[in-house]
Amino acid sequence: MTSPHELSALDQYRLLQRRELGVVELTRHYLDRISSGNAQLGAFFTVTPELALQRAQQVEEAVPRSTRLWGLPFADKDLWRRQGVRTTFGSRAFADHVPETTDEIPRVLDEAGAISLGKTATPEFGMTSHSETAIAPPARNPWNIELSPGGSSGGAAAAVAAGLLPFAPGSDGGGSIRIPAAACGLVGLKPSRGRVPGLSGIDALGGLPVAGPIARSVGDAAFLLDGMIGRRGSVVDDHYALRAPAQDDGDFLGFAIRGEGRFQIGVSTDSPWSASHDIVIDPEITAALNDTVALLSDLGHGIDDASLEPMPGYGSAFTAVWQAGAAQIRLGAGDIGAGDIAAGDEGEQDADGGLEPLTSWLRRRGRRLTAVQLAGALAELFRVERAVIAGFAGFDAVLTPTLAQLPRPIGWYDAVDAERNFSQQVEYSPFTSFVNASGLPAITLPVAMSESGLPIGMQLIGRPGGEGTLLSIGRQLERRLRWERRHPPIWT
């Protein structure tokens, strides 16, 4: 008999709807998977079996089956607070923090009828493209546990790839959904700025961080995205949510199931980071890019080169805004989170409160920025946004590698030299952060495997509000490549 985790999330949902699978039964199945697999992977910081089973019973008995994610397990990224559940933000400074409130993304997923099983691993305050932290052992890549799953949604991606969850929500301020999804052989979708009300990017510095899905298939990613968007009248205030014609209020699942259309697709290996860093693409990734171009052409899409104008100011501007974001980390003030504004703590201008070297460096540099410097950096990112949108305007989607390198070994990033660590992250993932700066949607698709058996992802960048197009193209590729059937050795 097929075990539930071997099915898609959508198929598990259908079994639940037909009462061929019980909500408590499914929850127990995944809790058992986590119990047997998490010690090796470190995908979860915290597992909450008692709360999960109580919630499963409640959903089964009292929550309408019409809710979008009824009965399906997920986990909260440990950057999001859940009332009464230890939430560390990946930092020793919050090792014993138990919040009194629940953040919007967990709330909207609860409203959709889903069941949280705990908190997935993330680096300190989600600031890095890896998932190594001083608060716990590193999260590991299910395809090779000596390698990193990427970050900052690394625990979520590791859990989904290993079958410990059917899918998982993540957040993405510079690639934090797409990087681990690519490293773990998954589909990861960064929505347009404003698409997901619970973490829209609109109210954030530089408009960078948004929430989106990580899944094994395009359909499951669309399914979770619909649940994360929520509906009008929900507990989430969706006043600022993006409302794009023909893709309004999601049925994004419909785009993923139909997988229809022929589109004009640009191909690019340009990165704004090239002006400040030596960007070298692994030959196997280049080969996978060329194979994907050939397949897209075979599917009937128009293919042409896409290019970006030089952006010499991008690297320093993005770095300054990233540092300014870290400057908002406030320590030792009770029930607060990584996004809370630091106020009235001038006395800790240089105190790091036990932060890791990279976070401490980012925070310290951010607090030394002047208002004029920050305003200049934000203005430069706005210029980048306009240039990227204009440069890609002739295409329905633009194809790039997701990463420049194959998954990195655990311990590869410099743990002492913060500036070197930051540069290593840029060289690993030079194609992701400028998409956040431009507010565009992007999806990573696990199109290939390396000779050593590691996943290789390609990124499709869409027009503003163009998630449906990305899902349609992704589904067409998925039908040919059948990547949802690939599983890492740890799967069994």
Separation of alpha carbons 449 and 109, rounded Å: 33
How far apart, in Å, are the Cα atoms of 440 and each of 190, 201, 210? Answer: 8, 11, 11
How far apart, in Å, are the Cα atoms of 305 and each of 264, 269, 293, 367, 395? Answer: 11, 9, 11, 41, 10
Residue 36 annotated among the catalytic residues of the structure: no
Separation of alpha carbons 432 and 401, rounded Å: 9
Residue 307 annotated among the catalytic residues of the structure: no
Catalytic residue among 152, 192, 217, 429: 152
Which helix (H) or strand (E) is 170 found in, with range? strand 167-172
Catalytic residue among 176, 200, 217, 429: 176
Cβ burial, residue 489 (10 Å; 0-12/13-18/19+) = exposed
* Per-residue buried b or exposed e for 70-81, using 16+ beta carbons within 10 Å of the residue's own CB: bbbbbbbbbbbb
Q: Which two tokens stand for residue 86?
A: 């230890």
CB 68 within 8 A of CB 226: yes
User: How many other CB atoms are found less than 10 A from the CB of residue 35?
Assistant: 12
Residue 77 annotated among the catalytic residues of the structure: yes
First to last CA, the chain: 14
Question: Cβ neighbours of residue 203 under 8 Å, at least 6 residues apart?
Answer: 240
**Residue carrying structure tokens 């019973």:** 57
Q: Which two tokens stand for residue 392?
A: 């890609």
- 3-state SS string for 287-348: HHHHHHHHHHHHCCCEEEECCCCCCCCHHHHHHHHHHHHHHCCCCCCCCCCCCCCCCCCHHH
Give catalytic residue positions: 77, 152, 176
